[in-house]
Chain A
Amino acid sequence: MDRSKPGSHPGSIWGQLFRTDYTGQSNLWPVVVSLLLIGLVTLTGKLYGDYLGITSIGMLFLLPVIFAAVRTGIYPAIFIALISFVCWDIFFIPPVLLLTASDPRHLITFLVFLLVAYTAGNMTELLRSRAREALQRESQTRALYELARELSAAAEMSGLGQHVVNQTAATLDAEAVLFQPDDTGKLQIAAANRSLLDLASSPNDLLAAQWTFENNQPSGLSTTMFTGARGYHVPVQTEKKILGVLSVKPLHDALEEQQRSLVAALAGLSALAMVRLELAEEAQEIKSLEASERLQAALFNSISHDLKTPLTSILGSVSSLVDEGSLYDVEQKATLLSGIKHSAERMNRFVNNLLDMARLESGYMKLNREWSDLQDIIGVTLRENQDILREHTIRIEMPDQIPLIKLDYALIEQVLTNLLHNAVKYSPLGSEILISVTRQAEVITVTIADQGEGIPVGDQEAIFDKFYRLQSPHNVSGTGLGLSICRGIIEAHEGRIWAVNRAGGGSLFNFSLPLEASTPQS
């Protein structure tokens, strides 16, 4: 324990005489003033002694005692009472200049001096200590309040720990460290009010902190455990478990009882905040886990739906033809067979989309970019999908000259295929689908316009989310994978894809590709 400064030793009279109290006032000056008062009274007594009389002079000597008692405390007052009495005795009671104590009446005066000094001094000390306590309480309350306010705002564990140590350090004028256990239960520094702390480097303190953590009791400074440690260690605990250890090393004084309880209060506050955060994090985790499980389930449902629907149609038609083929006439057979073909093609498209999605999701979407002619891609897409587009009128608007773009031919063809299927799916038979290509300064934009029902207001962005369709009430078959794959592909090309409703009905799906996207593939 640090005992190098006499002023910090509450037990000694000397220390009492000159200590600096909690409010920062020193006892030195009131004592000196009292001594000067004694001199003044002595001088006055000597000048007007004949007129005043010994008893009155004795009364005057009470003044420095009262002054000292009011301004300092018991011990300085008794000291001044002693000096006052001695001066009165020596200078005024015959035989003058000799310390005599023969007359019992003078002894009574001395006792009165002591009584005044003791009583008044005691009162002063009491008042002062109450004021000091009130002040301390106020600053502790403020510290706790401040910390509580900061902690309630902290949204993550590391920020929270930093708030705790900063507030603790500032309030107590001390070093502060927050230890938290790692996976093996060994304490690690979670936060410190500054780097290179004594606490963090002292083996005794690390041992003490670990002991506190394991035994759920304070240790170190001002305790009976690990008295060699330089810091005071308190557990950061809730009713159920210990979350860590808060360690404090005062920069100057020892820790008083009140300060220790303040540390404990700060630790308790921290524990509550940590538990709150832990609970919030757990809740968040559970929430995202649930979301991903929901997504998994949705994926599963939609994949099985998208594969089973055409399979059902194929198996149904085929088994009809195989088992009871003679029942059907040529026309009915043709219907069944074209249904089989249609379903198989649908499965094929779906598998292609699934494969593209897997490529996009796995993150190794390597674009196979080559100089390509958009007109050519549109032509191929129309050719490949002519069966599906048969029931619609296709119109193409294209400028005479469009520059080549470096892109992945197969993927952009997939985007066009998906957008065309989308247009067919959501617009009435016989309506027109317009494919137009426009060139701006730096980009080429392809727009596919249909005359369908349009996009629900507010969903223009969401339709490109994976499985958007799952949340929509529309009962049109399909996963809703298509548009999200389009977005993935276009974004991989540093392009942009968006949808708007068309004035007069229908929707416009646009994607633009940068003309300068000639960056070599990595």
Chain B
Amino acid sequence: MGAKILVIDDELEIRRLLKVGLTAHGFDFVEAASAKEGLYQAVTARPDVIILDMGLPDQDGAEVLRQIREWSQVPVIILSVRGQEHHKVSALDIGADDYLTKPFSVSELMARIRVALRHQANLKDEPVVEVGELYMDFSKRQVKIAGDDIHLTPIEYDLLKLLISNAGKVVTHRQLIHSVWGSEGQEYSQYLRIYISQLRKKIEKDPNQPAYILTEPGIGYRLAGFE
């Protein structure tokens, strides 16, 4: 049996769709239609990944996430609608692993689940990471693109390292700023945009249409998965 996925969503149609999609991909499917039921299932069913809708009738999705995080580090992928970027950001900041905006495709969701499971499986640091043509060796502080060495400034290196260690997963602006500058200050958000732009010029074939560092509008960046 594959990994067990808990879907917490009050919409029957969505649960039905996900049930078909997930079981077809070999996952074990568990569902809950409310926050209360979801929390109960999270404890009893012990899922490997939780898919959590932010708009539950009985409780705010963020509150459900907070309660789960009190005792579990299980990957949580949140579902939300357009125009609620600040909700998504705060959910990611309190420990959600990734998000999807409704409407979404099942294949997108599968990709997110696979990334979440992979990160769950190997939390230990690998010295070498390869994503597409991008090669990064943390032990040698070496970065290559299509076999060619590229030179990065220390900040560019730190940004890319955080993104590539989370390859396929969204990393929020705040997480990036915190990890690179050690600060929460909003004033760094301008610098972040500028460093990302420079980084793209060095690693992207066409910086106008980036293939590695993808922007998640209003939320952060994601290093493309390349499965």
Residues of A within 8 A of B (CB): 344, 348, 352, 355, 368, 370-373, 375-380, 382-383, 396, 398, 404, 409-410, 413
Contacts and interface: CB of A to CB of B under 8 A. Distances in A.
Given A410-B83, A410-B85, A379 B194 contact: no
B186 to A, nearest CB: 9
Nearest to A382: B209
Contacts of A378: 208
Contact of B217 (A371, A396, A409): A409
Contact of B197 (A370, A375, A383): A375
Interface in B188-226: 189-190, 193-194, 196-197, 207-210, 214-215, 217-218
B208 A398 contact: yes
B214 A383 contact: yes
A396 B218 contact: no
B127 interface: no
Given A404-B190, A404-B194, A379 B217 contact: no
Contact of A373 (B85, B86, B193, B209): B193
Nearest to B219: A409
Interface string B158-197: 0000000000000000000000000000000110011011
Interface residues of B, number: 19
Nearest to B103: A348
B124 interface: no
A380 B103 CA distance: 17
B208 A379 contact: yes
A383 B218 contact: no
A382 B214 CA distance: 12
B209 to A, nearest CB: 5
B82 interface: yes
A352 B196 CA distance: 28
Contacts of B83: 355, 410
Nearest to A437: B208
Given A376-B215, A404-B190, A404-B193, 14 more contacts: A352-B82, A355-B82, A371-B193, A372-B193, A373-B194, A375-B207, A376-B197, A377-B215, A377-B217, A378-B208, A379-B207, A396-B208, A409-B217, A410-B217
Contacts of A368: 85-86, 218
Interface of B: 82-83, 85-86, 103, 189-190, 193-194, 196-197, 207-210, 214-215, 217-218
A142 to B, nearest CB: 68
A379 B193 contact: no
A413 B210 CA distance: 16
A344 to B, nearest CB: 7
B218 A376 contact: no
A383 B217 contact: no
A228 to B, nearest CB: 71
Contacts of A355: 82-83
Contact of A409 (B86, B194, B218): B218
A357 B137 CA distance: 49
B209 A344 contact: no
B215 A379 contact: yes
A488 to B, nearest CB: 15
B86 to A, nearest CB: 8
Given A344-B103, A355-B83, A379-B210, A371 B189 contact: yes
A36 B13 CA distance: 121
Contacts of B217: 377, 380, 409-410, 413
Contacts of A372: 193
A380 B216 CA distance: 8
Contacts of B196: 373, 376
A413 B219 CA distance: 14
Nearest to A356: B83
A355 B194 CA distance: 31
Nearest to B206: A396
Contacts of B207: 375, 379
A375 B83 CA distance: 21
A234 B46 CA distance: 92
20 contacts: A348-B103, A355-B82, A355-B83, A368-B86, A370-B189, A371-B190, A373-B193, A373-B196, A376-B193, A376-B196, A376-B215, A378-B208, A379-B207, A379-B210, A382-B209, A383-B209, A396-B209, A404-B193, A409-B218, A410-B218
Contacts of B218: 368, 370, 409-410
A375 B208 contact: yes
The interface centre, meaning the residue of A373, A377, A398, A409 with most chain B CB atoms within 10 A of its CB, is: A373
The interface centre, meaning the residue of B190, B196, B208 with most chain A CB atoms within 10 A of its CB, is: B208
B197 to A, nearest CB: 5
Contacts of A352: 82
Contacts of A371: 189-190, 193
Pairs A-B, 4 closest by C-beta atoms = A396-B208, A371-B190, A409-B217, A373-B193
Contacts of B103: 344, 348
Contacts of A383: 209, 214
The interface centre, meaning the residue of A352, A380, A398, A413 with most chain B CB atoms within 10 A of its CB, is: A380
